[in-house]
Structure 1
Amino acid sequence: MKGVTLAALTVGLLPIAGAGTAPAAEAEVQAGRLNVTIPSGTIIGSTDGEVESFKGIPYADPPIGDLRFRPPVRLSTHLGEFYATEEAAACHEGPVFGPFADTNDTIATLAEIDVANAVFKDIAGDKPTKYDEDCLTITVQRPEGIEAGANLPVLFWIYGGGFVGGSTTGFDGTELVKTGVQLNQPFIFVAVNYRVGGWGFMPGEEILREGSGNAGLRDQRMGLEWVADNIAEFGGDPGRVTIWGESAGAISVFDQLVLFDGNATYNDRELFHGAIMNSGTALPTDPLDGPKGQAIYDAVVKKAGCESEHEDSLSCLRKLDNDNFTAAANSVPGIFSYPSLALSYLPRPDGTVLTDSPDALARQGKFHKVPVIMGTQEDEGTPFSFFQNDMGTDDKIVTYLSKYYFGNATSDQVSEFVGTYSDKISDGSPFRSNLPYELYPGKRRIAAILGDMVFNLMRRITLQILSEELPEISSWSYFSSYNYNFGLNPMGTMHGSDIAVLFENSNDEHPTISGRTYYINFLYTGDPNIGSNVEVLWPQWTEDHQLLWFNKTENGLKNDTYRESSYDFMFENIDSLRF
C-alpha cells in the first residue's frame, strides 16, 4: 500500500486537568496506544486491530450559557493529553414525535410508533447513550498503521436525523474504512457532531437580528476547518476532502455548497473537493424571520415563560437550564407527526450564511463548483405518511399542504400540483406495489407527494438547475430499489434504508459492495467509474438524464423521467413551494 507506514507507539505525559478522562482500561490503552499530536493537544486513540479510532475530539468551545444558539467559537483551550477512546456525547435531540393529528386529540398506535422509531434509527443512527450541550466534537477513523505523511483522501460525514437528531456515535465508519483497504484505496473517515433542533436551528427575527442563524451549519463548516488544520497529522490530505451526508445531512451538504454564496475557502484553500448527497438536495425555504420560522420561535418563548417585557426573550432562553430549555424547544411539532416533513427546525435564509433559498442560490451560480453525486430511494415518502389519518380527497390534501407546507402558493396552484398525482391506490408509494390496501384513505398518494416534493423530484430539479446554470460541474445521480420484493413490501425502498446498506452490511451483499465501490472511486478520482472495477458504467446525468439503478442483485440504468407532470409543475412553481 503506497504511502502507508506503521504508526509509532509513543508514550506521552499524564493527562492534565480539562483533558479527556482516562478510561477504565487505561493500562490496555497504554500497552499499544495511538498518539497524534495537533496544535490543541495530544489525541490518544484506540484500535480494533484493523481500524484506529479517535472519538469526540473537541473543535469548538462549549456552546452553553451565552453561547447557546450563537455561531461556534473555535476551541480556545489546550486539551493537553486527550483520551479519544470512548463514545462521544451527542448533541441534544429536538422534537421527534407528535402531534399525531391536526389537533392533539389523536394518539398514534404503538405499532406506528415502533415503525417511526425504526425509521428514525435508520436516518439518525444508533441512539447514543449520552447527551451533552457541550457536544461540538470530531471523530476520526483510519486504517491501522497510517500516520502523518500518508496523504489519504478524506470522507467527511454529516449525519441526518431531520435536523432534530443524529450523532457521530450513530455512524461507525469501520466497515467503510475496511472496504477502502480491501479495494487498495485506503482513506480517512471523519464525522462531525453539530447542533440540531432548537440549539442549532432556532429561527425567528430575534435570532436573525443577532446574527446567530443556522448555527448547526456553521458547526459543520467549523468542523471542515478543523480538518483543514489537523487532518494531515492523522495521515489525511486536506486537499482531497469529499463531504457526504444522508437526509438532513444531504440537505446540509447542499447547503455547504451554497454557504456564504458558494465560498468554501479557508486560508485561501478549498475546504472540500467533492460532494455526495443521499436523499436530500436543495430544499426551498422561507426566510429565518418569515411567518413559519417566527411561529416556531414564538411558541418556544411562550412555553418557556420568556414573554416578560423586562428581559429580551433570547437572554431568557439562554438562562434556562438545559432540561427546561429542552421542554420548551421540543414542544413544537416533530418529524414523525401530522405535519411530518414540514419541519420545525431546518436551515433557513438568514442573509449571511444562506443569503437566499438554497435553490435560488444555485440558480444564481453561487455554488462551490465541485463534482457531485446525488440520489434517492424509490419510496422516500412511506415513513412520513403514518400520521395524516385521512387524505382520501383532493380537497383534504390541498388543505393539508396549504396549511403546513406551501403558504406562498395559491389554492389553485396547490390543487394543480395535487392533480398531477393519481388517486389510484396502485399508483401510490410504495410504487409498483401489488398490495391492494393502504393504512388509511389516500396514504399511498400522500406518501408519493411528500417523497417527491422533498426528495425524489427535488433531486431532479436540483440537477436541472445545475445543468442549466453550472454546466461545467460533473454530476451523477442514482435511484435505489434494493428493498423491492415483488411489490409485497409495504414500505418499499424507504427513506433511510441506504444507511444499513452502506454503513453496516457485509460486502457479500451486492448493493453494499457496489455502492461502496462507486463512492470510494469518487472519493479518490472525482469519478465513480474510475478506480476499482464497477459493474455498470455510470453516465453523468447531463449526458442523457439517466440514473444508476441500484437493485438487490444487479445494477442497471433508468431514465430519469418518472412522474414527469409533477416534476414540470414543481420546476415551474418552485418559488411558491418553499417550506
Structure 2
Amino acid sequence: MSITARSMGLKLSTKATLLGTSIMWQLLLALQALASPVATTTASTVNLGYAQYQGSVDTATNITSFLGIRYAAPPLGALRWAAPQPPSTASGVQQAITEPNACYQALVGNSSTNPFESTSMKKRAVSQSEDCLFLNVYTPGSEVVATPAGGLPVVVWIHGGGYIEGAASTFNGADLIKESNYGVVTVLVQYRLGLFGFLSGEAVKQGGALNAGILDQNYALQWVQAYISNFGGDPTKVTIWGESAGAGSVIQHLVAHGGNTQPPLFSAAMTSSTFLPPQYNYNDRIPEMLYSEVVNGTNCTSSSDTLSCLRAADVSTLQTLNYNINIDGFFGTFVFVAVVDGTFIVERPTVTINRGRLNGNYLLAITNSHEGNIFVDQSTTLDVADYVKTLFPTFGPAQVAGAVAMYQNQGSNVNQANLVMGDSIFVCPTYYLLLAFGERAWKGEFAIPAGLHGSDIAYYFTSYQNGPAYNNSQFITAFSNSFMAMAMSNTPDDRYAPGDITPSWRPWQQGLEEMMFNETSAGVPDVYTFKTDMNVLERCAYWRNVSVYSAQ
C-alpha cells in the first residue's frame, strides 16, 4: 500500500526563502567556495581534551572563529541511526579554519499527486557527507580566554530547512557578535537530516535511535555545557535559537523529557517562525510506511534484520532514496520530521506544552506576517476542506468541518490555504508556547513586505545571502538587538545599543501586547506595539482543541 499525497499530510516550504531554499542553498555553498578569503591571522589553540583546535581571527572584525569542531563521532556504519557517540581522541592540533561537511541534503516536496508513484531514481552530485556532526564557534576578540567561572552569554543557533536541508556554513556567527556589541559567544550546530536523521519505525526503536537529528542537537548542547567555557562562554547563560525547523527543534528541546531535562542545558529559548507539523508516534502508519519504502528501495525486504541491512547499504543508494522520497512528497511538504519516540519526546508536543512545564526559563517568539504562503501552491484549486484533509490525514469529518467554518470566509481558496498552513503549523504553536511561559515570554511580528517565511533571517544574520532587502540601519538595529538583548539580559526590552528605536516591550501576557517590526509606505522604520488579533487567537483555540487529531 503506497502513501498518498493526502496521507503524507506534512507540508512546508516551496520555492525560495529558507525552508524551500534547497537550490539557493546549494548555490550559496558554491559561491562561498569561490569567495575571496577575508584577512585572517592565527588564533590561539583551545584544548578540549579529546582534541586541540586552532581557529583564525578576522582582523577586520576582531572576531575569532573555530570552524568544523567535531562534537560527536561520525555516524557511519553501525552508528547510522544510532544515538550520537563521543568523538575519538585526535592527536596534534586540528586546524579549525574551513567550513565542515554539510549533512546530506534533500529537496522540498513538489508533487501534486501520490508522492510514491514515481519510479525514477534521480541522482545528483552532492558535496555532503554522513560525517557531518560538527559545530562552529565564534568568539569576540583575537584571544580566546577560558573562563572557568562566569564568561559571556552563549547563543546556540539551530538551522532550519524542514529537517532535510541546511548547514552551519550558510550562516556567519560573527554577525550576532557584532550586533551584541561583542557581548556573546555564538555556536552554530549541524545535525543529521532527512532519511539519515529522522528515519522512524519499530525497527529503528528496537535497534537504533529515533529522532537521531534531534539527539545530535541535544548532544551538541551537552558539548556546550562541557566545553564552552574554554571559549570564554558561560554554560549557565545559554540561549537556544532557531528559525523554522530550527525553531521546531527548539520546541523539541523545550518539551524534551516531559519538559524536565536534568541537568538543564539552556536558560532561554528564541523561536523565529515556529514549525510544528504533525508529529506522529514512531510506529504509527505513516512512519512505518516510510520505513518500508526505504527498506524496499535498498532491497532489504528479505533480510531478517532490516535495520542492519540498511546500515550496510551504500550511502549513495540511501541518498538517492532520501532525495526522491522528499521531492516526491506533496507540494511544499517535508517527509522526514520528528516523531514521538517515547523516551526523549515522551508525548505529542502540545500535550507537554499544555501542562505548562517546559525546559528553559524565558522565551522570545517571532512570527512573520505571511508564514504560510511559500508552502502553498499559489495556483491550487483545492477547496479548504480538501486542503485540510491533505494536510492532516487523521482528521475526521467533524474536524474538517470545524476548519472549514473557521476559514470559509477568508477569501479565495489559495488565501484560505495560506492561512490554514500559516496558522496551524507556525503561528498557533507559537501562541501555545507563549501561554505556557506566561510572564516570561515576549512576542513580536516581522512584517517587512511581503513578510514571507524566512525573509527575516537577513535582518539578524546580515551577511546571509544578499543581506537585508530593506537595508535600513535603524530597523536592523531594532530587530536584531531584540534577540541579542534576550540572550544577554533575559528580556528583549534591554536597550543596550544607541539608536535602538524599539519602544518599551512588555511580556505578551501583559495585555496580549506584541511588537511590530515593519516599514511605512515611505520607507521609514515602523516599530510599535499592538494587540494580538483576537480572530487569530480564536482560530488557534480551534487548532489547539483538535491537536490530538492533527498529531501535534
Mapped to 1, the partners of 2:129 and 2:326 lie a distance apart of 22
> What aligned pairs does 1:165-176 form with structure 2 within 5 A after superposition?
165-176=165-176
Residue in structure 1 matched with residue 156 of structure 2 by the alignment: 156
Q: 1:36 to 1:104 in 2, by over 3 A?
A: closer
Match of 2:515 among 548, 556, 563: 548
Residue 283 of structure 1, CA deviation? 5.0
- Check whether the contact 1:52–1:144 (CA below 8 A) recurs between aligned residues: yes
Give the letter for the 2:548 counterpart.
D
Mapped to 2, the partners of 1:257 and 1:279 lie a distance apart of 15
**Structure 2: which 5+ residue stretches go unaligned?**
1-35, 119-124, 520-524
- Check whether the contact 2:42–2:54 (CA below 8 A) recurs between aligned residues: no
Q: 1:103 to 1:355 in 2, by over 3 A?
A: closer
State the identity %.
27
Match of 1:147 among 117, 134, 144: 144
Residue in structure 1 matched with residue 398 of structure 2 by the alignment: 412
- Check whether the contact 1:255–1:282 (CA below 8 A) recurs between aligned residues: no
- Check whether the contact 2:374–2:453 (CA below 8 A) recurs between aligned residues: yes
Match of 2:365 among 361, 365, 374: 374
Does residue 1:313 correspond to 2:287, yes or no?
Answer: no
For each residue in 1:418-459, what CA deviation from the matched residue of structure 2 results, as whole angstroms up to 9, or x when unmatched?
22114554xx6xxxxxxxxxxxxx222211111111011222
- Provide the secondary structure at the position in 1 that maps to 2:187: strand
Residue in structure 1 matched with residue 323 of structure 2 by the alignment: 330
- Provide the secondary structure at the position in 1 that maps to 2:255: helix
Residue 201 of structure 1, CA deviation? 0.7
Q: 1:298 to 1:387 in 2, by over 3 A?
A: farther
Residue 132 of structure 1, CA deviation? 1.1
TM-score, normalising length: structure 2: 0.83
Match of 1:94 among 106, 112, 118: 106
Mapped to 2, the partners of 1:545 and 1:281 lie a distance apart of 22
- Check whether the contact 2:484–2:492 (CA below 8 A) recurs between aligned residues: yes
Residue 405 of structure 1, CA deviation? 3.1
- Provide the secondary structure at the position in 1 that maps to 2:456: helix
> What aligned pairs does 1:49-448 form with structure 2 within 5 A after superposition?
49=59, 50=61, 51-102=63-114, 130-149=127-146, 151-181=151-181, 186-266=183-263, 270-280=264-274, 285-308=279-302, 310-334=303-327, 338-341=330-333, 343-386=334-377, 389-391=380-382, 393=383, 397-402=384-389, 404-423=390-409, 425=411, 442-448=413-419
Residue in structure 2 matched with residue 529 of structure 1 by the alignment: 493
- Provide the secondary structure at the position in 1 that maps to 2:342: coil
- Provide the secondary structure at the position in 2 that maps to 1:554: strand
- Check whether the contact 1:155–1:242 (CA below 8 A) recurs between aligned residues: yes
Q: 1:129 to 1:169 in 2, by over 3 A?
A: farther
TM-score, normalising length: structure 1: 0.79
**Structure 1: which 5+ residue stretches go unaligned?**
1-24, 107-127, 429-441, 484-491
Q: 1:37 to 1:340 in 2, by over 3 A?
A: same
Mapped to 1, the partners of 2:275 and 2:109 lie a distance apart of 24
Match of 2:451 among 493, 509, 512: 493
For each residue in 1:380-431, what CA deviation from the matched residue of structure 2 results, as whole angstroms up to 9, or x when unmatched?
111111277322x3xxx323432x4323321121122122114554xx6xxx
Mapped to 2, the partners of 1:251 and 1:297 lie a distance apart of 22
Mapped to 2, the partners of 1:389 and 1:66 lie a distance apart of 44
Residue 104 of structure 1, CA deviation? 8.1
Residue in structure 1 matched with residue 529 of structure 2 by the alignment: 557
- Provide the secondary structure at the position in 1 that maps to 2:85: coil
Mapped to 2, the partners of 1:293 and 1:337 lie a distance apart of 14
Residue 166 of structure 1, CA deviation? 0.7
- Provide the secondary structure at the position in 2 that maps to 1:557: strand
Mapped to 2, the partners of 1:97 and 1:166 lie a distance apart of 16
Residue 140 of structure 1, CA deviation? 0.3
Mapped to 1, the partners of 2:98 and 2:280 lie a distance apart of 40
* Equivalenced residues, count: 490
Worse overlay, 407-416 or 368-377: 407-416
- Check whether the contact 2:42–2:55 (CA below 8 A) recurs between aligned residues: no
Give the letter for the 2:160 counterpart.
G
Residue 233 of structure 1, CA deviation? 1.2
Mapped to 1, the partners of 2:134 and 2:79 lie a distance apart of 16
| Greater RCO (Cα-Cα under 8 Å, separation 6 or more) | 2
- Provide the secondary structure at the position in 2 that maps to 1:541: coil
Q: 1:58 to 1:66 in 2, by over 3 A?
A: same
Residue 532 of structure 1, CA deviation? 1.0
Give the letter for the 1:364 counterpart.
R
Q: 1:102 to 1:390 in 2, by over 3 A?
A: farther
Residue 154 of structure 1, CA deviation? 0.6
Residue in structure 2 matched with residue 462 of structure 1 by the alignment: 433
